[in-house]
Amino acid sequence: MLILCLVSTIFAVISYNYDPKSPSIRWGVIVLSCAAMAGLSRASIETILPALDKYHMDFALIEFFLYFVRIITGFLSIYVFPYALLMWAITYSDKFNEKAVRICKCIFPIPIIFMLKTTVYYPDIIPDFHSMLYWAVPYIIAACLIHLYAWHTEKDADKKKQRITTISISFPVMLSALILNYIVRAINNYNQYWRYMIIFLILSFFIFLWKALKQEAGSLNGIKLRYEREAHKKTRQAINKGTALLSHAIKNQIYKINSSLMIINVNDLNTSSRGAIDIIARSSKHLTDIIERMHSKTQEIKIVKSKNDLNKLIDDSLLALKLDLHSKNIRVEKSYESKEHYVYCDPTETYEVFTNLLNNSIEAIETIRDKGEIKVSVYHKNSQNIIVSFADNGVGIPQEHLKHVTDPFFSTKENKDKNHGMGLNQCHEVMYKTGGDLKIESAINKGTTIKLTFPINLKKGDVHEESKSYPSSTY
């Protein structure tokens, strides 16, 4: 049983470290804590007490403390587990608004209060498994059905992959607990079939590790994405530092070249030499321009949030590109769920993201067709997030390139002089630091759809101000 406690604790720590503020993560941690307490409860009488007796450490105070631990952990692990499991499914599903979640959180623990009276506590805790058939079993079944419904109705491809991964990891534990720990023990509490649950927990743990290490796999509650983002962040920081050092070193050498050119008297040179000097001067200026552009693209992004209407930011971005869209015969179709969609974001950086993505769509469309179309949609994903979607019917991105398009310096564009592969990386970084994300779906010759998720409310640690101006078009 110590193994059950250890594995569950590792699961809980990994989950909590991912995002302590996420309601679904917190409920998942409570579920795992119940499993850890179940292991500790059994270990206290099956492992710890016999070990103390073996070494003649049978002190009354220690035995009383272990009995107390046994009762508390046993009670919580058995009765809180179904409730926490159901609340985890509800919060993770994104199908319930905040009011519904609060009501569920207050109503569903009511049966646990009645269990205080029907449970036997001495000489050992004996839970009322028969009564749990009428509430705990339905709770677990409801949790499974909510997970399945959320997966079935999920429209986002990446989220759907995450949900099926969560199901594959959690269902072995949920179903084994339902059958072995609640239904079977309600029929006959003297059997030991519940001990086989450890097999399913370890199986789930190895599935989690496999999914975490496998490329293009989903994730448990999105946990894998955290570590991918951390790796992405470190790469970005290394590039920023390296680019700054490289820029400084090259600029020093360019300064020496320009200084040397200034003291040369071109009148003393023949035509061929003057031509060579002119080439050196123009190349020096071109190199300086490249370094400046690269340096500006690799600066650390600092997000200062304020309350902004996403509809207005999109409209201003479209207005800035009005001439390009008109000259290339590209039609824009806008679909706003509401007249206003307010979120907390950095208006300047968000405006740049929208403009960058629209420019990408324009370039993708003009390479394959005369008449293009860009669909811009804004809608609520749930009570906490708003989605902005840009969909074009352009050239599309090959599947083998999709996982690399947000990497620094990766570009599929032919004009490498003007495109350094930092555009989508910049957008990805802005969305990450805003607290949202950027997802890309694409197919060759069919087009590309990019979905941006914006959190509606401020989060702890956000830098914000009342208002902030941003570049607005005057066309």
Domain boundary, last residue among 246, 263, 297: 297
More confidently predicted of 214 and 464 = 464
| Per-residue pLDDT at 1 | 55
Domain-embedded: residue 468: no
3 vs 51, 82, 155, 323, CA distance in Å? Answer: 17, 21, 38, 66
Highest mean pLDDT among 44-48, 158-162, 186-190, 251-255: 186-190
| Per-residue pLDDT at 22 | 76
- Domain of residue 445, CATH code: 3.30.565.10
Please state, as a whole number, how many other Cβ atoms lie within 10 Å of the Cβ of residue 65.
12
Least confident of 36-45, 165-174, 304-313, 347-356: 36-45
More confidently predicted of 98 and 409 = 98
Same domain, yes or no: 62 and 190? yes
Domain-embedded: residue 451: yes
CB 114 within 8 A of CB 135: no
| Per-residue pLDDT at 215 | 45
Same domain, yes or no: 19 and 133? yes
| Per-residue pLDDT at 241 | 55
Q: At how many degrees (to 10) do helices 223-262 and 2-18 cross?
A: 40
| 297-356 pLDDT per residue, tens | 556 678 889 999 999 999 999 998 888 888 888 999 999 999 999 999 999 889 989 999
Same domain, yes or no: 281 and 367? no
More confidently predicted of 474 and 55 = 55
Same domain, yes or no: 236 and 193? no
Domain-embedded: residue 475: no
| Per-residue pLDDT at 227 | 46
474 pLDDT above the threshold of 50: no
pTM for the predicted model, two decimal places: 0.52
| Per-residue pLDDT at 367 | 65
Three-state DSSP state, 60: helix
CB 301 within 8 A of CB 433: yes
| Per-residue pLDDT at 297 | 55
| Per-residue pLDDT at 103 | 95
Same domain, yes or no: 293 and 379? no
Count of domains for the chain = 3
419 pLDDT above the threshold of 50: no
The maximal CA–CA distance of the chain, rounded, in angstroms, is 109
Q: How confident is the model at residue 294 (pLDDT cuts 50, 70, 90)?
A: low
Using DSSP bridges, classify how beta strands 330-336 and 372-380 pair: parallel, antiparallel or unpaired: parallel
Q: How confident is the model at residue 98 (pLDDT cuts 50, 70, 90)?
A: confident
Q: Which residues lie closer than 8 Å to 150 by C-beta, 6 or more apart?
A: 89, 92, 93, 94, 95, 163
| 367-404 pLDDT per residue, tens | 666 678 999 999 998 888 999 999 999 888 888 777 77
Same domain, yes or no: 268 and 356? no
| 110-132 pLDDT per residue, tens | 999 999 999 998 888 889 999 99
Same domain, yes or no: 326 and 439? yes
Q: How far is CA 110 from the centre of its chain?
A: 33
| Per-residue pLDDT at 202 | 74
Domain-embedded: residue 471: no
Same domain, yes or no: 293 and 315? no
More confidently predicted of 208 and 161 = 161
Structural domain of residue 208, as residue ranges? 2-221
Mean pLDDT across 272-289 = 74
Same domain, yes or no: 150 and 71? yes
Domain-embedded: residue 143: yes
Domain-embedded: residue 469: no
Q: What mean pLDDT value characterizes the chain? A: 79
| 72-82 pLDDT per residue, tens | 988 998 999 99
Same domain, yes or no: 267 and 377? no
Same domain, yes or no: 102 and 154? yes
Mean pLDDT across 357-362 = 92
To 10 degrees, the CA torsion angle through 143, 166, 428, 420? -160
Same domain, yes or no: 270 and 168? no
Least confident of 8-12, 69-73, 295-299, 407-411: 295-299
